[in-house]
Structure 1
Amino acid sequence: MDVRLVLCLLWALLATAHARPSSCYQSIPGASNAVRSCSSGADSCIAVQEVNTLGGVVNTGVLQLCTSSLISLEGDLDFEFGGGVYVRVHSKMCRETNCNTGEIKERSKISTVPNGGQCPSCFAPGSHRCLHNVTLHCQGAASQCVDVAGTLSEMGIDLKIPFAARGCATKDVAKIKAGDILLSGVFTYQITAIQLRPATRLETMDGF
């Protein structure tokens, strides 16, 4: 292969690897939507969708902005805490200018088919500890048991509410570490402790 062609290909690969957007679409709850220039520390655009039932009602929201891939998480970060309480966050990053401008499509319906796993479950707002546990049968892609604690707050509001929870979660939740701040379309979650392990499999016997 011609040396000049090889050098051109290498340059293109390096340029792609270090590409960063000059601006991203910004949509933040409580603020006006617009295209914003990215700071030197931002190497990606991100779009985050959240649906949760914290507080006993369905809350939905979308967050779009410039971000750093070093501090932002991507994937399906889903938690099921039992009793109808859940937090489902879907996030996607891209590295082209204004690449998060497209219409945010409604997320596919979450599978409610039991996957054979079970976990202890609880949700304790206002506390750092779960005092009671109920067995939760995991569904769909939520094949892990999670034990998480931290605080949640609304963007632009200083009040932070402590919480502790246990339940079933998707494998992408393993990306979350203690000390992480998870920005989403509804709340900001500051994680102080998190543990993840495979869900306990239900024992089955033929003929019973």
Structure 2
Amino acid sequence: MQKALLSTCLLLALLSPVTSLVCSYCHNKTTSCKGESDEKCGANPICVSGVLDNNIVSQYEMTSYRGCGDSKHCHSGDYSLTSANGNYLQAKVFCCGTEKCNKEPLYVPPREDLSPNGLECPACFGITNVTSNPKCKNQGTVSCLGNETKCIDYSSRVSYFMMLYKKLKLKGCATEDVCALNGKNTKFGNLKLENIVTKCSDASEQIVLEG
């Protein structure tokens, strides 16, 4: 009797339709999503919502995106880093695993609206083709902005839309979520960061000399 019941349960499981996760989808080169649609996900699915603002990859400076993602590369967080010569990246990412759970818009403030928080870090910036190793010579210090409370020594490989492979190395200010990417790969829309290495320490307070 038990064997017959087990066989029936297995048969029903095999006959049951396999449902794919459906996520809200959009992709715009602005900080807001428009023209939303639905996307049916495939293997290892997760819904992703994100917004990115950066000047490191000029082909992909600003974008809002929602859709299906890979759980291996999606890490929810509030990302912000400030490096030498005005180079920066800021992003917010939300990863979830239920039907259209990524419909809520995410927001990053305009870069010019971020105020210095009184902390500073050593700074340098280098980016090269993937066949070379970037140099990151000391370029003084940089003021930390917003909720950047960590000094970071960062390196990774960068690719945009499966092309434009670069190696990136920098020092500067960062949020804790950027530091937590150590040893991981992640994606911000079509911008992919691989082989991430981060070394972080607490940022120091700036010394203000009174005249």
- In structure 2, what is the Cα distance between the partners aligned to 1:71 and 1:186? 12
Q: Cα offset for 1:123?
A: 1.3
- In structure 1, what is the Cα distance between the partners aligned to 2:156 and 2:25? 27
Structure with larger Rg? 2
Change (3 A) 1:192 1:101: closer
The aligned counterpart of 1:13 is none
Normalising by structure 2, we get a TM-score of 0.72
Question: Aligned with 1:54: secondary structure?
Answer: coil
Check conservation: 1:122, 1:166, Cα contact below 8 A: yes
**Structure 1 runs, 4 residues or longer, greater than 4 Å off:** 55-58
Check conservation: 1:73, 1:175, Cα contact below 8 A: no
Normalising by structure 1, we get a TM-score of 0.73
The aligned counterpart of 1:145 is 151
Q: Which runs of 5+ in 1 are unaligned?
A: 1-19
Letter in 1 for 2:95: M
2:174 equivalent to 1:169? yes
Q: Cα offset for 1:39?
A: 3.1
Letter in 2 for 1:52: N
Find 1:160's aligned residue among 154, 165, 179: 165
**Could you say what the CA RMSD is over the residues aligned between the two structures, in angstroms?**
3.1
Map 1:5-84 → 2, pairs under 5 A: 22-27=21-26, 34-42=37-45, 44-54=46-56, 59-84=61-86
Letter in 2 for 1:193: V
The aligned counterpart of 1:11 is none
Check conservation: 2:84, 2:124, Cα contact below 8 A: yes
Change (3 A) 1:198 1:96: same
- In structure 2, what is the Cα distance between the partners aligned to 1:99 and 1:21? 14
The aligned counterpart of 1:3 is none
Check conservation: 1:62, 1:186, Cα contact below 8 A: no
Letter in 2 for 1:90: K
Q: Cα offset for 1:88?
A: 0.7
| Alignment coverage as a number of residue pairs | 183
Of residues 104-113 and 163-172 in structure 1, the stretch that sits farther from structure 2 once superposed is 104-113
The aligned counterpart of 1:123 is 125
Question: Aligned with 1:83: secondary structure?
Answer: helix
Check conservation: 1:47, 1:92, Cα contact below 8 A: yes
Change (3 A) 1:204 1:29: closer
CA offsets, 1:90-146, max 9 Å, x none? 1112332122245x3543345533222111111111143312332112122111111
Find 2:186's aligned residue among 182, 185, 194: 182
